[in-house]
Amino acid sequence: MIVQVDPKATVSQLDAIKDAIKAIDYKATEVRTQRGFYLVAIGKKDFDIRSIGHLEGVLDVHRVSDAYKLVSKKWKVGYSEIDLGDGVKVGGDELALMAGPCSIEGEEQIVQVLTHLKSQGVRVMRGGVFKPRTSPYSFQGTGMDGLKLWHQHAKALGIKIISEVMSVQDIGPMYDYIDIYQVGARNSQNFDLLRELGHVDKAVLIKRGMSGTIEDLLQSAEYVFSGGNERLMLCERGIRTYEQAYRNTLDINAVPLLKEKSHLPVIVDPSHGIGIRRFVEQVALAGVAAGGDGLIFEVHAVPEKAWSDGQQTLNFAESKRLIHKARRLFSFCRALEGEFPLDEEPA
């Protein structure tokens, strides 16, 4: 059960609400986020929702039977939108586009990519400065120096930054230089990291783990939300299957399912999803058609020379074509959905 509490409720009102929850043998956890105050109550008994709903200080009560609660669609009308400031939004009526190299390499590369994104009206640049590499001998990222340099150039152009945070100790140092913390596939169930990101007032994108289920991803998001941060988005980036013909199996099925199960924006990563440059566009468009709120993909001036993931990175011409098609397709899908809504019987 989720009890939405008036943030201005008095201490005695709050005590009365908690007592009523205890009386039906439910255990409540207090969650205060940027947008609301919730009591998430876990219990087994059936109860009359009015026994809590009528109490002073209660805004609303919702029964949520899912294992995850606050990220569930069951208690919220409509979908969540994340405002990154300066008119940049994720979720809602515009396709969110985030693009950039796998790794930040240096000033020339940063400027080249930023110039490309600016020319295409893309407002969020991706790039790793702390890289989770399978081999300890591979390039590990330019770290905070790379991030600071990148931030300086991006800020001047009004472009927001998303970058992967690999450990709790990097959350603080990165804070002033990024707009979205990315939790990578390998850290999707790093609960210490997720819990800490719940205490931060910055957006978080959580990637699905390599062998993570949809429910695992939602539970990971629940960690962040219940820690106090509801500026969250989910990312489908492919899972590991027996198939060897491509890097990962982008699970298109996850997109409509996540949209049904959760109110959070869903972002599709076709680059890691298939891992093969010449197919990134088609797979990205499939993600948009499946109902994704946005795309995150890799782009570099010369993919062949990229320091990591060049094999799945688009050049600027390919990126431009994808951006154009993805925007058109998104508008078309939304218009079609308006004409023939999914939740209505076809005439």
Give contact residues for Mn ion (rule: CB under 5 A). Answer: 102, 309
In three-state secondary structure terms, 267 is strand
Task: Examine residue 237 and tell whether it contacts ligand PEP (CB under 6 A).
Answer: yes
Q: What is the size of the binding site for ligand PEP (CB under 6 A)?
A: 9
Residues of span 58-87 touching ligand PEP by CB under 6 A: none
Beta pairing partners, 298: 100
Residues of span 169-198 touching ligand PEP by CB under 6 A: 184-186
- The distance of closest approach from Cβ of residue 126 to ligand PEP in the complex, given in angstroms and rounded to an integer, is 7
- The distance of closest approach from Cβ of residue 160 to Mn ion in the complex, given in angstroms and rounded to an integer, is 19
CA atoms in the 13 A half-sphere facing the CB of 213: 3
Report the largest interatomic distance among the alpha carbons of the chain, rounded to a whole angstrom: 64
Residues 6+ apart with CB under 8 A from 337: none
- The distance of closest approach from Cβ of residue 303 to ligand PEP in the complex, given in angstroms and rounded to an integer, is 14
Task: Examine residue 207 and tell whether it contacts ligand PEP (CB under 6 A).
Answer: yes
Task: Examine residue 273 and tell whether it contacts ligand PEP (CB under 6 A).
Answer: no
251, two tokens = 């699970």
Are the C-beta atoms of 210 and 239 separated by less than 8 Å? yes
Candidate list 14, 31, 64, 102; residue touching ligand PEP; CB under 6 A:
102
**Closer residue to ligand PEP in complex, CB, 57/101:** 101
Task: Examine residue 128 and tell whether it contacts ligand PEP (CB under 6 A).
Answer: yes
Task: Examine residue 272 and tell whether it contacts ligand PEP (CB under 6 A).
Answer: yes
Are the C-beta atoms of 265 and 294 separated by less than 8 Å? yes
Instruction: Look up tokens 């930040």; give the residue.
Output: 104
Residues 6+ apart with CB under 8 A from 7: 32, 36, 37
**Closer residue to ligand PEP in complex, CB, 128/294:** 128
**Closer residue to ligand PEP in complex, CB, 151/237:** 237
Which of ligand PEP, Mn ion, none is residue 207 near (CB under 5 to 8 Å by kind)? ligand PEP
What is the Cα–Cα distance from 123 to 115, expressed in whole angstroms?
A: 11
Residue 265 φ then ψ, to 5°: -65, 145
Q: Interface residues with ligand PEP (CB under 6 A)? A: 102, 128, 132, 184-186, 207, 237, 272
